[in-house]
Amino acid sequence: MASPPHLPLLLLLLLVVVCNAAGGDGARVNPFTAKAAFIRYWNRRVPNNRPHPAFFVAKLSPLQAADAASFAAALPRLLPPLCARAALLCPSASDTETAASLAVGGGGGGGPFKGYSNANFTNYGSGGVGGADGFSAYSPDLNVVGDSFRRYGRDSTRRVDTFASYEAEGNVVTANFTSYAGAATGGSGSFSAYAADTNVPDSTFTNYDAEANGRRREFTSYSQEANHGSNTFAGYGKNGNGLRETFTTYGNDSNVIASGFTNYGESGNGATDTFTAYGKEGNVPDNTFRSYGAGGNAGVDTFKGYRSESNVGDDSFASYAKGANGNAAEFQNYGGSFNPGTVTFKGYGEGSNPNHHIGFKEYAGSNNSFKGYAKSGVDFKEYHNTSSADAATAMSLEAVSSGHQHLKWSPEPGKFFRETELVSGNTMPMPDIKDKMPPRAFLPRDIAKKIPFKPNAVSEVFGVPLDTAMGKAVTSTVAECEREPSRGETKRCATSAEDIVDFAVEMLGNDIVVRSTASTAGSGGQIRLGNVTGVDGGKVTRSVSCHQSLFPYLVYYCHSVPKVRVYEADIMAADSDQKINHGVAICHLDTSDWSPTHGAFIALGGKPGEVEVCHWIFEGDMTWTVAD
């Protein structure tokens, strides 16, 4: 039978479709995939026949076209297979029954637990006598970790538990300790290197050691160098007897960590709490002590080297030791922040019982408020309420004299630089430009547009409780997207790859290109610049920069940036002529609307509007410009 006369034309059209669906490395892409569908969309919106960059193509959805259509029609019923096939960031189902049942009902039993992850320990070790549990290298280097210890060791006697390197280097980790060691007698616990180097940790200690007797607890290197998270201690040690809690190097070198101590040690007897080097060199720490030690008897609290050399921050002590009997609190070298924040003492030491001693020794800071504190039993010795300028100057001199030139919260060397440094042959530090976000892919637009961009809707579709680290990240991302733009800024949150292209075309026209630094080679070390080229001849231009946000699927915060120059530079090894990377840098020429406390001015000096600020485009981020 003869072939239909139109068959050669159909084959030709199919060949054109396949040829127009090439990946970033020139490889052909299956035309019946979400990735190929997007590339065809890109070619229609940006018809300049430029190559599609590999870094962008790698973020596209891996779904087959048929899968994309079925998932779009069936959300949220098909969520588990969607998460797996679409390379999304979803909470994993915890296979925890075996771990939880190891010692339910008492006994010594158990540990060590090494290499465990995403476990739920409920009624574990309750009523047990003696025994030791060791949680070592627990949930390490994982994404969206969820660990729960509920009624762990309750009513136990002389039980010892150790958490070492717990949730280290994790991403979006949630730990919940509820009724942990409640009414326990004796024993000890240790949290060492807990949540170190984590991104967006969220730890909750509720009724922890409540009504316990003679327990000792140590938090050492807790949340060290963590990023954007919160720790909550609610009802911790309430009605306890003879408890001893030590927080050493807690939250040090962390970035925007919030800690809340509510009803901590309330009505406790003979409690001893020590905070040493707490929040040192942190960036914008937020610590709240509410009803701390209220109604306690003969408690001793010591804050030594608290928030030393930190940047800004906010501390609130409300109803601290209120109504307590015989309590003693000592603040030594408290508040030596580089850039002073706000400290509020409200209802401090108040009550009918004057038998307490509260001392401030070598306490320095500004913006301090003492409201409603006891007029007797409070001793201010060598108290300095310094101005911001004085405090900053004093801390600068101290840092220089001690040889400690770079404070951890200050911008990493090379993160910001001047335009004059972008010249061939210049040697300079390169910051850590590695992508710290967990790996995810874009959702096809047909699926993304079916999910309302609201925390509750995302929580329902992806099974992400809003009180977990991931849930709080979702809420934060939505809030940032809904924020009013800054003066002169046009912004949009792109929930699909198509959204990014549409925004870039809207701002810059359809003859555009997108760039990012080629790799992370040279990151965190010294580099030398090879050939440096200004995009569009180095003319002042407008760009669209896009930055990742933390979400179950890829969401980008894109904004149109006026008055910039964009550069491409060959990055060479500092001690040879070997090319190791190809970098993209952007220089913001108008900084007049930037905050005076922006890290760029801390690193470079100057004030808003006085200096231009340049930085590299980090891995995972991108910038769009008009094509040369």
Q: What is the pLDDT of residues 187-210, one digit of tens each?
A: 777 777 666 667 666 777 766 666
Question: Is pLDDT at 454 greater than 90 in this prediction?
Answer: yes
Say yes or no: 139 and 196 in one domain: yes
| Whole-number pLDDT of residue 39 | 96
Whether 102 maps to a domain, the answer reads no
Q: Does residue 420 surpass a pLDDT of 90?
A: yes
Q: What pLDDT was estimated at residue 464?
A: 86
Q: Are residues 378 and 466 in the same domain?
A: no
Angle at 607 between CA 604 and CA 609, to 5 degrees: 110
Residues 585 and 454 in one domain: yes
The CA distances from residue 98 to 91, 94, 115, in Å, are 19, 11, 15
Domain termination site, one of 195, 222, 249:
222
Please indicate, yes or no, whether residues 316 and 395 belong to a single structural domain of this protein.
yes
Q: Span 512-519, mean pLDDT?
A: 97
Using pLDDT thresholds of 50, 70 and 90, give the confidence band for residue 80: confident
Identify whether 155 is part of a domain. Answer: yes
- Average pLDDT of every residue of the chain: 75
* Confidence grade of residue 157 (pLDDT, cut at 50, 70, 90): confident
Same domain? 370 vs 451: no
> Do 471 and 611 fall into the same domain?
yes
Q: Which residue has the higher pLDDT, 411 or 429?
A: 429
**Which residue among 171, 191, 222 closes a domain?**
222
Given pLDDT bands bounded at 50, 70 and 90, which one contains residue 177? Answer: confident
Identify the pLDDT of residue 398.
Answer: 38
Any domain includes 52: no
pLDDT interval class at 8 (50, 70, 90): very low
Q: What is the reported pLDDT for 160?
A: 78
Residues 516 and 583 occupy one common structural domain: yes
Sequence-distant (≥ 6) Cβ neighbours of residue 1 within 8 angstroms: none
pLDDT at residue 390, as a whole number = 40
Q: Which range is least confidently modeled, 26-35, 146-155, 609-618?
A: 146-155
Residues spanned by the domain of 479: 419-626
The pLDDT of residue 14: 42
Check residue 175 and give its pLDDT: 72
Q: Which of 28-32, 103-107, 281-285, 536-540 has the lowest mean pLDDT?
A: 103-107
Do the beta carbons of residue 175 and residue 147 sit within 8 Å? Answer: yes
Pairwise CA distance, residues 365 & 228, whole Å: 24
Q: What is the pTM of this model?
A: 0.71
502: three-class secondary structure by DSSP: helix
Task: Name the burial class of residue 229, with classes exposed (0-12), middle (13-18) and buried (19+) by CB atoms within 10 angstroms of its CB.
Answer: buried
Confidence of residue 29 (pLDDT cuts 50, 70, 90): confident
Sign of the CA dihedral with 375 first, then 378, 384, and 389 last = negative
Phi/psi zone of residue 255: left (φ > 0), alpha (ψ -120 to 50 degrees), beta? Answer: beta
pLDDT at 296 over 60: yes
The top-scoring range by mean pLDDT among 125-134, 157-166, 405-414, 529-538 is 529-538
Q: What's the pLDDT at 155?
A: 75
- 576 CB neighbour count, 10 Å cutoff: 9
Q: Pick the more confident residue, 247 or 585.
A: 585
Helices (H), 75-146: 79-85, 97-100
The pLDDT value recorded for residue 386 is 42
Kindly state whether residues 441 and 558 are assigned to the same domain. yes
Q: Which two tokens stand for residue 550?
A: 């933390």
**In this structure, is residue 101 part of a structural domain?**
no
Range among 3-7, 21-25, 121-125, 456-460 with highest mean pLDDT value: 456-460
Q: For position 394, what pLDDT does the model report? A: 37
- Higher per-residue confidence, 591 vs 267: 591
What pLDDT, in 10s, does the model give residues 350-359? 655 556 666 6
Neighbours of 172 (CB within 10 A): 29
Whether the pLDDT of residue 242 is over 80: the answer is no
| Sequence-ordered alpha helix ranges (H) in 149-253 | none
598 shares a domain with 459: yes
In a domain, 358, yes or no: yes
Q: Are residues 387 and 494 in the same domain?
A: no
Helix runs in 75-131, H state only: 79-85, 97-100
In the listed set 346, 364, 399, which residue is the last one of a domain according to the structure? Answer: 399
Q: At what angle do helices 65-74 and 34-45 cross, to 10 degrees?
A: 100
d(C-alpha 279, C-alpha 316), whole Å: 14
Q: What is the pLDDT of residue 375?
A: 54
More confident residue, 530 or 293: 530
Query: 147 lies in a domain?
Result: yes
> What is the pLDDT, as a whole number, of residue 213?
72
Residue 363, Cβ neighbours under 10 Å: how many?
A: 22
Does residue 508 share a domain with residue 449?
Answer: yes
Greatest mean pLDDT range, 175-179, 259-263, 434-438, 555-559:
555-559
- 3-state SS track over 411-469: CCCCCCECHHHCCCCCEEECCCCCCCCCCCCCCCHHHHCCCCCCHHHHHHHHCCCCCCH
pLDDT value for 81: 82
Per-residue pLDDT, 15: 41
How long, in residues, is the chain?
628
> Does residue 277 sit within a domain?
yes
Share of the chain above pLDDT 90, in %: 33
What whole-number percentage of the chain has pLDDT above 70? 54
Split at pLDDT 50, 70, 90, the class of 335 is low
pLDDT digits (tens, 9 = 90+) for 551-601: 999 999 999 988 999 999 999 999 999 999 999 999 999 999 888 888 899
Q: Are residues 386 and 303 in the same domain?
A: yes
pLDDT for 305 equals 64
Q: Give the number of domains in the chain.
A: 3
For residue 13, tell me if it sits in a domain.
no
What average pLDDT score do residues 426-446 get? 93
